[in-house]
Amino acid sequence: MLDVRLARIRRFRMRTERIPEFTTQRLSVYLRCLEALEEMGVERTSSQTMAEQFNLNSAQIRKDLAYFGQFGVRGVGYIVKDLKRQLSCILGLEAGHKVCVVGAGNLGMALTDYRGFPKNGFTVVAAFDSSPGKIGGCSRSGVPVYDLKDLSVIVRKEGISMGIIAVPSEAAQDVCERLLDAGVRAILNFAPMRLVGRPGAEIKSIDLSISLEGLSYFLSRQFSDASRPQQQPNPDLPSSPDTRR
Amino acid sequence: MLDVRLARIRRFRMRTERIPEFTTQRLSVYLRCLEALEEMGVERTSSQTMAEQFNLNSAQIRKDLAYFGQFGVRGVGYIVKDLKRQLSCILGLEAGHKVCVVGAGNLGMALTDYRGFPKNGFTVVAAFDSSPGKIGGCSRSGVPVYDLKDLSVIVRKEGISMGIIAVPSEAAQDVCERLLDAGVRAILNFAPMRLVGRPGAEIKSIDLSISLEGLSYFLSRQFSDASRPQQQPNPDLPSSPDTRR
DNA sequence: GTCTGTGAACTGATTCACAGCG
DNA sequence: CGCTGTGAATCAGTTCACAGAC
């Protein structure tokens, strides 16, 4: 009786529990998987099938999805098209997001023209820089480069909701604050430093050198045990010769 | 008596325990912190001081370091210069790494010329592409672009130990295998797809769209409670109008 | 006294295993 | 049957709290 109503509601209702960061990260991954499946003409899938594609446990996928509602059909699995739309909606991608890139250097311009963004509902509508040589120009794909001073005006005019920071470390915190002042609540930071944000705003950092260092660590562990390394690794923390700087 | 010898040895010996991935990631962060401290002329620091700089617990820093040895002095703290060198060594950065970038598009070229790498001991010595228009040219900073066909030869000749993949998704798995075949055991992948590797090789992926989606998720949660959003978010997984097919 | 190094307690995420629905 | 959704069990990572070195 009442149960029917209740179930119907729960189907789309998010739980109030706190949702782990890892879960939300995986949601994007599931979405990619579903997109691939849809392209291949697959209409239905199951947590097992999806789990095999990446290196995941099927229970984890079910649990991740269960945080947000009941999207599957017992005994059947998930309808690719439906689940895809649900995930898209959960991630807030339905409407699309306008993005700006601050820093019109090599990396900034590459990100401005990055082809992967439009596919996933992100449109870079503006780049900013403070160098007179760059202001007034535009990226290869035609995105205009504005004066950083006008950030706040353009952000409001264009309805920009996300910012990407691609300026040198020294300038990053200042740019971060300008973005926050302009009302941008979500920032992706490529400057190799920790930015201090504000409550109600999210800052994600991608530090390219740290990523490489993780790989470097792997290499030095890898070869320190037995197998013959290509080059001298470091067999085990030697008191290294003092070749500083 | 024997204890003295024992302590001396343990001081530099890594434990055999499995070291959490998160620990190694943080090692890089500590290293950055130490570099900053050294630049400021600070000679000694403590886990508390460092913990304040980022948002970490001091015990975590001590525990992370303890996986690799005993680098501190009780009652005193850590000697910046020494700890920095130790971390550098643990991460395998002492000797430096030669890196190649595959894919000479916007992103590939931006990564090839990225200024942050040299500072941290990584040198991009070669870029590769398969497009005749790009082969034979070089990046703005003068790194040559070779034919992808010659990958293996150049890798061996230059002693390249790491590869960065910046090609479109379709080509990424192929490039990945070529790198592995050439003996590159550490790969940083920017193509938005999961690459299958091989035992003994490490592949780290950075998916720019997934990062933005995480921010998008934050924005849509953020505004779904109360505070007035700038734009229509999605208040709570609505039974989206069934515009199917 | 200070601050490290570390076992013990805790917190949170993953996996198991199974009840329940189609 | 098969496959989801989920409590219970497990596992991993973090924090606490204190003994021990200086």
Q: What is the pLDDT of residues B23-32, one digit of tens each?
A: 999 999 999 9
Res. A102: pLDDT tops 60: yes
What's residue B14's pLDDT? 55
* B6 strand D contact, CB < 7 Å: no
What's residue B243's pLDDT? 27
Average pLDDT of chain B is 87
Check if the beta carbon of residue B231 is closer than 8 Å to that of residue A236. no
Chain A, window 202-241: residues with a beta carbon less than 8 angstroms from a chain B beta carbon: 202, 204, 206-222, 230-234, 236-240
Nucleotides of C under 7 A from a protein CB: 1-7, 12-17, 20-22
Res. A17: pLDDT tops 50: yes
Would the pTM count as exceeding 0.75? yes
All residues at 6 or more sequence positions from B74 whose CB lies less than 8 Å from its CB, including other chains: none
Question: B66 vs B23, B41, B198, CA distance in Å?
Answer: 10, 25, 30
What's residue A222's pLDDT? 80
Look at B220 and A32 and tell me if their CB atoms are within 8 Å.
Answer: no
Nucleotides of D under 7 A from a protein CB: 1-7, 12-17, 20-22
Question: A159 vs A198, B215, B229, CA distance in Å?
Answer: 20, 16, 12
CA angle A86, A88, A91 (to 5 degrees): 110
B193 near A CB under 8 A? yes
pLDDT digits (tens, 9 = 90+) for B79-109: 999 999 999 999 999 999 999 999 999 999 9
pLDDT level of residue B55 (50, 70, 90 thresholds): confident
What's residue A55's pLDDT? 85
pLDDT digits (tens, 9 = 90+) for A192-237: 999 999 999 999 999 999 999 999 999 998 876 433 333 333 333 3
Res. B13: pLDDT tops 70: no
